[in-house]
Structure 1
Amino acid sequence: MNLSALQNLHSANVLVVGDVMLDRYWHGDTGRISPEAPVPVVKVSSLEDKAGGAANVAKNIAHLDGKVGLLGLIGKDDNGEKLVNILQAESIDSQLVTVDSLPTIAKMRVISRHQQVVRLDLEEPFEKEHSRLLTKQLEAVIDNYDFILFSDYNKGALADIQAMIKIAKEAGKTVLVDPKMSDLSFYKGADFITPNLNEFKLAGGNATTEEALTDSARKLILESGVKAMLLTRSEQGMSLITETEKYDFPAQVLEVSDVTGAGDTVIATLTTMLGAGMSAKDAVEMANLAAGIVVGKLGAATVSPEELSAKLGQYLRATGEHYQTPFEDVLQHIEFAKQNGEKIVFTNGCFDILHAGHVRYLAQAKAMGDRLVVGLNNDDSIARLKGEDRPINPLNERAMVLSALASVDWVIPFGKVEENDTPANLIASISPDILVKGGDYKVEEIAGADHVLSHGGQVEVLSFLDGCSTSNVIKKARLTKS
């Protein structure tokens, strides 16, 4: 397995079909017990709405740069409207079907000091007649996708899944299912099915020994009419099992913060990697790495290509490869990070020849927030600023070197003639929380500072490392050559 497949993530073309829901979180502190009943009083300080269920699966695919569509059922209510708006912000092509007589499924959680105090579920099961509405919608759009992923939470949206799978297979699509029913034949025809260990046992699987697990898994595969099973086994990792092969993947996390949504991440990553051209074994290996990342986060989180690249580099013990986010995707990745509450730091420069001063400066900038964006002057801009003999290294090579630094999350070019070789327009597009500039500038002299300050951000000036400059490096190299 290598990192090159991560450059093909846009090739993944997936339609998610299943039980969508709105996840709502009330956050607050707890300081006393209610006088009305022996329950804690939570003083709510913030409210957060997120895409849940099958919608969270689609969100995971979108955050991995896959092209994703979503079919599901919602009610004609405020929660349904909120969910639609969230999906639009997540760049998900959602085509949700409204059922007037039933509410949008919503799970409402009260969180205090990172602990869930109570969960309130608002739901009524959808019937098969409602599921058939999705079947019709599936028939209408199936030619637009290569992979069909069914996310079953047993809320009724997939009551007609047998007909849906038949439509998908007749259209030549690869079908994956995250199951909920104990009778796995409900998903007959699927190429991959991803039960967790408890679901596996409820379906008749035997996990008393490794041999019993393998034999019973193969029996279930044969009886249910699916091609392969990816069994998620908590601290024991994962196993990919077919009628003739079995591959085991050890767990990739040392400390678990929250397993919420981990199953969504697994099947989303598996499908995206298959869509990017990976073999099934390599795609499962990547899904296992993604699970290790996501369970170390709080709540139903997602994984980015950058995180997978870093994790894979550690896993392969540093092959020298790394993932460089395509320039056209950087703004979308930044937006995803903002939605996750991450603090964005921005700096800019030519970075023609990377030296120790740059490395220290970028590390200091990254330490101020969660993610560091580097605006990089394009080649024409450097030539205008530094002379016709510059840059020494072209844009793509400079970007590759910068993106390989642990401190740098994203690199994005700027420097059109009409922008006067400043990153002001780029900064306005990003709206970072912190703008960092190196040198002895006054804040009012820094391009983009006015925009950042007007949006409640901060501007920081860092000193350069004495004796380190690209010009000095070039001068010394030329003297040595002569």
Structure 2
Amino acid sequence: MSRSTSRPFPDFSRARILVAGDLMLDRYWTGQTERISPEAPVPVVHVDHIEDRPGGAANVALNLSALGCQVMIMGVTGADEAADSLEARLRAAAIDTRLHRRADVPTITKLRVMSHHQQLIRLDFEAPLTPLADDPLPGRLATALREVDLLVLSDYAKGTLAHPEPLIASARAQGKRVLIDPKGRDYARYRGATLLTPNRAELEAVVGHCTQDLVLLERAQRLRQELELDALLVTLGERGLLLLRPDCAPLQLPTRAREVFDVTGAGDTVIATLAAALGAGIELTEACALANCAAGLVVGKLGTATVSQHELATAYHGVAWHGLLDPAALLEAVATARARNERIVMTNGCFDILHEGHVAYLQQAKQLGDRLIVAVNDDDSVRRLKGAERPINPLAQRMAVLAGLASVDWVCPFRDDTPEALICEVKPDVLVKGGDYRPEEIAGAACVRANGGEVRTLDLLPGRSTTRIIGALRGR
């Protein structure tokens, strides 16, 4: 029986998240460039706008706040003007800010000079953050954990999280999940965390360069097992996200980005949205779908940026949950549905003149899962299969009628004589055809079975067919 898919958007205000890690200030000097300096072959920027934004772990906290979470942040800064600016902006975002200021180091600051939406140069102000012998962070964090539901460790390899083991141990001892955005080659220090979110380059720095996706998958799974992680989420850039869990098939979510303008801070947005969703009680796979959607939004913005709850809700619900889709949009919708643990059923046909038999057949098919896809032959392929006088109704009309049925979620056209290529891309959980087909005759059946799906044939209502209707109309 099909499950209901009408779900409210998560209430992120329920999530109480503690962020700890390397705090930074991202500073932007922006202006026009109209000439080259007479002193050196460099552009002269007339700075007319200065903006400070929380960066590093602070950007993760800002992302969480933008989603409406209850956020606390802990980390190390200098005792300087940059720390004042950073703290003021965090407090302005209603973030419970608990900084440890040290006079022996500057606040890590990244100064970017911008012109015409382009970064001309970045200047970094930082010094090695050598851990103190009496580091106060573990003790303070252990106490603060009592006030939250989940811990995020944002490691930028600046020194704050040089020894994360006691932080992970404190959280797990209190039954709190630990999400980590890792850095460096020593992932053993993250052992026992709930989930890690490396990008592909960071992962390959640990497991070695992977020339094939299968090699990447095998090595990532082995790493997850060695580190005793509940899950490993690999960000793949333009290819989206890959989620690996024990005893579950890998889940890949294609990117939701429409235009990539700036990838700065995209990893922060992924882990923040993931933490927000888990903190709000959302299951992991759907939390990953939300994080993937948020990443697609933030890379369309300039610099370190955040995604609001309204933006995310609008974009997430903007996935076409019903209607006419091209193949690319269909694959995106299917991936999001899978992240919601929905079962995908697929069938295909010409559906030239929709009749009672079709309606009954599609109703039966929908009962086998949560989402029913109907792939429809385009006009040229119908002519090749049925003759020059077919189709009676053009593709647009056939698809519109199918999309109007309550049992049908998505309708997608295909050009080939069979939908095998499309079926092999979608990889439905159930592939369905009418009972007049033998299993070995069903296009795409091998792909579906190889992916762990099933192939089903359904009985057709006797005496109902488009050919009979057309014959009756012509007096045959």
Normalised by the shorter chain, which TM-score bucket?
0.5 to 0.7
| SS of match in other structure, 2:207 | coil
Q: 1:201 aligns with which of 196, 199, 204?
A: 204
Deviation of the 1:283 alpha carbon? 0.2
**Cα-to-partner distance string for 1:91-129 (whole Å, 9 max, x where unaligned):** 111101011111111111100111111111000121222
User: Structure 1: how far apart are the matches of 2:208 and 2:69?
Assistant: 33
Please give the residue correspondences for 1:373-384 in structure 2 after superposition, counting only pairs within 5 Å: none
The amino acid of 1:259's aligned partner reads V
Q: 1:5 to 1:153 in 2, by over 3 A?
A: farther
Deviation of the 1:244 alpha carbon? 2.7
**Cα-to-partner distance string for 1:337-376 (whole Å, 9 max, x where unaligned):** xxxxxxxxxxxxxxxxxxxxxxxxxxxxxxxxxxxxxxxx
Residue equivalent to 2:216: 213
Please give the residue correspondences for 1:83-98 in structure 2 after superposition, counting only pairs within 5 Å: 83-98=86-101
Asked if 1:17 is matched to 2:20, the reply is: yes
Deviation of the 1:255 alpha carbon? 1.4
The amino acid of 1:260's aligned partner reads T
Q: 1:171 aligns with which of 171, 174, 178?
A: 174
Q: 1:16 to 1:36 in 2, by over 3 A?
A: same
* Contact kept? 2:10, 2:277, Cα under 8 Å: no
Q: 1:3 to 1:161 in 2, by over 3 A?
A: farther
Please give the residue correspondences for 1:243-322 in structure 2 after superposition, counting only pairs within 5 Å: 243-245=246-248, 246-317=250-321
Residue equivalent to 1:392: none
Please give the residue correspondences for 1:311-390 in structure 2 after superposition, counting only pairs within 5 Å: 311-317=315-321
Deviation of the 1:140 alpha carbon? 2.0
| SS of match in other structure, 1:125 | coil
| SS of match in other structure, 1:143 | helix
User: Structure 1: how far apart are the matches of 2:273 and 2:134?
Assistant: 26
The amino acid of 2:309's aligned partner reads P
User: Structure 1: how far apart are the matches of 2:226 and 2:16?
Assistant: 30
The amino acid of 2:308's aligned partner reads S
Residue equivalent to 1:188: 191
| SS of match in other structure, 1:315 | coil
Residue equivalent to 1:6: 9
**Cα-to-partner distance string for 1:33-62 (whole Å, 9 max, x where unaligned):** 111111111000110000000000000000
User: Structure 1: how far apart are the matches of 2:97 and 2:286?
Assistant: 29
**Cα-to-partner distance string for 1:139-171 (whole Å, 9 max, x where unaligned):** 221100110000000010112211111111111
* Contact kept? 1:185, 1:225, Cα under 8 Å: no
Q: Identity rate of aligned residues, in percent?
A: 43
Structure-2-length-normalised TM-score: 0.65
Q: 1:131 to 1:180 in 2, by over 3 A?
A: farther
* Contact kept? 1:289, 1:311, Cα under 8 Å: yes
Q: 1:136 aligns with which of 134, 139, 142?
A: 139
* Contact kept? 1:131, 1:156, Cα under 8 Å: no
User: Structure 2: how far apart are the matches of 1:248 and 1:242?
Assistant: 12
User: Structure 1: how far apart are the matches of 2:55 and 2:7?
Assistant: 31
Q: 1:121 aligns with which of 119, 124, 128?
A: 124
Deviation of the 1:130 alpha carbon? 7.0
The amino acid of 1:208's aligned partner reads T
Gaps of 5+ in 1: 320-482
| SS of match in other structure, 2:305 | coil
* Contact kept? 1:5, 1:277, Cα under 8 Å: no
The amino acid of 2:236's aligned partner reads R
Deviation of the 1:2 alpha carbon? 6.1
The amino acid of 2:56's aligned partner reads G
The amino acid of 1:41's aligned partner reads V
Please give the residue correspondences for 1:95-114 in structure 2 after superposition, counting only pairs within 5 Å: 95-114=98-117
Deviation of the 1:318 alpha carbon? 6.2
The amino acid of 2:266's aligned partner reads A
* Contact kept? 2:57, 2:155, Cα under 8 Å: yes
* Contact kept? 2:163, 2:189, Cα under 8 Å: no
Residue equivalent to 2:467: none
User: Structure 2: how far apart are the matches of 1:206 and 1:111?
Assistant: 34
Q: 1:130 to 1:38 in 2, by over 3 A?
A: farther
Q: 1:68 aligns with which of 71, 78, 83?
A: 71
| SS of match in other structure, 1:80 | helix
Please give the residue correspondences for 1:29-48 in structure 2 after superposition, counting only pairs within 5 Å: 29-48=32-51
The amino acid of 1:186's aligned partner reads R
Greater C-alpha Rg? 2
Aligned alpha-carbon RMSD (Å): 1.6
| SS of match in other structure, 1:95 | strand
The amino acid of 2:106's aligned partner reads P
User: Structure 1: how far apart are the matches of 2:6 and 2:251?
Assistant: 20
Matched residue count = 319
Residue equivalent to 2:60: 57
User: Structure 2: how far apart are the matches of 1:265 and 1:9?
Assistant: 14
